[in-house]
Structure 1
Amino acid sequence: MLIRSSRTAQLLLLLVCFIWGVEFVLIDLAIEEIPTHTFNAIRFLLAGLSLIPLLWFNRQQLVNIRWLPLCGASALLGFLLFVSFYTQTEGMHYTSVSNAGFITGLNVPLVPLLGFLLFRIKASAAVWIGMVIATAGLYLLTVGDNLEFNRGDTLILTCAFGFAIHILLTGRFVDSLPVMPLSILQLLAVALYSSIAAWISPEPAFYHSGATPLSWQDLATNPLIISAVLITGLLGTAYAYWAQSACQQILASHQVALIFATEPVFACLSAWLFLNEQLGTLGLVGAGMIIAAMLISELGDRRGRVTLEPLDQSTSVSPKP
């Protein structure tokens, strides 16, 4: 698939955020029945394998491939995703959904901050203003006056740092490495790391301690687990990280981070639609602030415009410096 405009890239990433927001409830239900490492191992294995057929449409990316840099980058990006998804999921056992949403959303301001600290990437004043507004909007949307810091919050803060660094590094790697192989290998790396973690964990691999013992056959016939794995693996993971890598060849890292700030907006909307949860006045104000932050950053940052040419991309979402 050729992505020729920043507008198309932004729409693809908004779709990613919509999928992530809607699938949140499904994942929350699934991990009540299956341990986090096992769920992530199955999810990312399915995601990686499902992208392999797309290599046929990107055969030119396999010519003169530099395997050592590709495998090294994939292993590093995969490790960041492994840590981020594990800490986020585990943190949900100890903290509220509101705290989790806000703290995960901190990867939005962390991207330009870490980009400056680690790589001396400078952003315009409009970008920093957008980041501040987006952070305040995330707070109003997901937390309000009830922010309390506990063990789960610490885990999810680790997740936010992991996602932010992943966005920054993806933006650097996609400039020199083939996107589709990079996407596939990093997803398979997460599956490998999760499998190893499940294997060495003292906890049972297929069920939680104290629960009724289950086998992999039991999981394979559980409608909830099957639905969660298929939706999160194919849409929330395979498509999402294909889109991220592909779009980061056009968009800057801070732009991607701001688009990702819409994930809690979609999560709140889906909760209102499917679970009859009310967004509330503060939530509506926060959602509006996030939209405004995206517009301020996009319209005010003219410095980073690039000449667009046909691309043969295919992988994860991270903006270019």
Structure 2
Amino acid sequence: MLHTGMRIPFSRQELALVLITAVWGATFLIVHVAVQYSGPWFFVGMRFLTAGLISAVIFARVLRGMTVKEIAAGAAIGVMIFLGYGLQTVGLQTIDSSTSAFITALYVPLVPVLQWMVFRKPPKLPTWVGAGLAFVGLVLLADPASVGFTFSSGEIATIASTLPIAAEIILIGWFAGKVHLGRVTVVQLLVAGSLGFVAVPMAGEELPAFSWVWAGAAAALGVLSCVIQLTMNWAQRSVSPTNATIIYAGEPVWAAIIGRMAGDRLPPIAVAGAALIVVGALVSELKLRTRKDAAVSSEPPLAADGSASLMHQPDQSG
């Protein structure tokens, strides 16, 4: 057999993440339309409770084997999903889908910074450069005419959402391969959905009148959220949080393409800011290869907690 030495540049897990990133980008516009007919926290509850129930049906056979560790892992990830998507949904009431997606991309340089805080591994120079570029891009995108760098309430809520979204990715990477994929997915989605409904009265939000717009959007996003979370949990068993965030950085580009088709029009300076955010996200993940790195490149990769990588262990998914 002729061997050309060529190989596909992405693993199937990475290709799966690319696909869900494109789908993820489309959800911004769906949510933006839905929250014109429903309060944000009610919609978050409907979206993720629907996703949780769907995943519970899919993994019904294995739920009896649920462990305390899996409940804790799912609950921790679920809280981050609730906070991240909840604040993002609040922001989408007043800002367009393209702007929301580009601001959300700020979570990319946040991932290595949070890993530094948790695992005591300081970020490299590219991370700081990327964070700086992303911040400048944020200022241009959010309010380029404002000398005082003021942001709207929707933009502030979206900026705040990037911290739990970054934490979610780190937690998924931390637990990947250590817990059952299906059981953790069910728990995290049900926790996120339940907390959404709990937040409704706490936020002083009224229950919306029935509309096929928010009902259809919640059902569609319930299915998509289930697929996205399952894929993330599966793929990040062998794709590191750092590599995953590089792929996720394409999310706002997909959202902008879809948003433009729907009528979003960013002014030129805001487009420049959006581009800086994406460039900053990508730069933050650059690796400066040193002689030391080359010497240890043949060693087995480490998991986020410093233990031996689990990427070659048998799949435990249900």
Q: Which of 27, 40, 63 is the matching residue for 2:31? A: 27
- CA distance, structure 2, for counterparts of residue 228 and residue 276 of structure 1: 19
- CA distance, structure 2, for counterparts of residue 292 and residue 145 of structure 1: 18
Deviation at 1:109, TM superposition (A): 0.5
Counterpart position of 1:318: none
Aligned CA-pair RMSD: 3.7
Counterpart position of 2:166: 164
- CA distance, structure 2, for counterparts of residue 279 and residue 50 of structure 1: 40
3-state SS in 1 of match to 2:117: helix
The one-letter code of the counterpart of 1:193 is L
**Contact 1:21–1:266 (CA under 8 A) maintained in structure 2:** yes
The one-letter code of the counterpart of 2:178 is S
- CA distance, structure 1, for counterparts of residue 198 and residue 135 of structure 2: 39
The one-letter code of the counterpart of 1:145 is P
**Contact 1:129–1:293 (CA under 8 A) maintained in structure 2:** no
Unmatched segments (≥5 aa) in structure 1: 208-213, 316-321
1:151-193 CA distances to partner (integer Å, 9 max, x unpaired)? 3333222211111111112211224211211111110011111
In the alignment, structure 1 residue 229 sits paired with structure 2 residue 212: no
The one-letter code of the counterpart of 1:75 is A
- CA distance, structure 2, for counterparts of residue 75 and residue 313 of structure 1: 20
3-state SS in 1 of match to 2:11: helix
In the superposition, relative to structure 1, how do residues 196 and 293 fare at CA in structure 2: closer, same or farther (>3 Å)? closer
Count of matched residue positions in the alignment of Structure 1 and Structure 2: 293
1:219-252 CA distances to partner (integer Å, 9 max, x unpaired)? 3xx2x223312321111x1111111111111111
Q: Name whichever of 87-96 and 6-15 sits farther off.
A: 87-96
Give aligned-pair identity as a percent: 23
**Contact 1:129–1:297 (CA under 8 A) maintained in structure 2:** no
Q: Name whichever of 295-304 and 99-108 sits farther off.
A: 295-304
- CA distance, structure 1, for counterparts of residue 127 and residue 178 of structure 2: 26
Q: Which of 252, 258, 266 is the matching residue for 1:264? A: 252
- CA distance, structure 1, for counterparts of residue 263 and residue 228 of structure 2: 24
Q: Which of 48, 54, 72 is the matching residue for 2:52? A: 48
- CA distance, structure 2, for counterparts of residue 270 and residue 295 of structure 1: 25
Q: How does 1:218-257 map to 2 (within 5 A)?
A: 218-219=210-211, 222=212, 224-235=213-224, 237-257=225-245
**Contact 1:268–1:279 (CA under 8 A) maintained in structure 2:** no
Deviation at 1:142, TM superposition (A): 4.8
- CA distance, structure 1, for counterparts of residue 119 and residue 287 of structure 2: 24
In the superposition, relative to structure 1, how do residues 152 and 11 fare at CA in structure 2: closer, same or farther (>3 Å)? same
Unmatched segments (≥5 aa) in structure 2: 1-8, 302-308
